[in-house]
Amino acid sequence: MSIITSGSAGYAIQTALKQFGLPNLKVLIDISLDTSIEKHLRDAGCEVYQTDLSKKILSPREILKSTNNEDGIDITCG
């Protein structure tokens, strides 16, 4: 699964995935996100990818491609 997050949702989902022994969440974060939040996500087990989210609204397919998860599921709401 992939998601755009600024921290909380990604961390919560990753915690649940880990609890059930499921694959790690792939998260797409903005390049301006505080590095301490990025570290927190990585420490939780998330696979973290960065992009400039101000450039355009990404489609689900673009989110999956940006997180190296083209056959996955994008769970970003919005």
The whole-number pLDDT of residue 10 equals: 96
Q: What is the mean pLDDT of residues 11-16?
A: 97
The whole-number pLDDT of residue 78 equals: 60
Tell me the β-bridge partners of 30. Answer: 51
The whole-number pLDDT of residue 77 equals: 81
The whole-number pLDDT of residue 3 equals: 98
Opening angle at CA 36, ends 31 and 40, nearest 5: 105
The pLDDT tens digits of the residues spanning 23-76 come to 999 999 999 999 999 999 999 999 999 999 999 999 999 999 999 999 999 999
Right CATH for 2-66 from 3.40.630.30, 3.40.50.1100, 3.10.450.50, 1.10.10.10: 3.40.50.1100
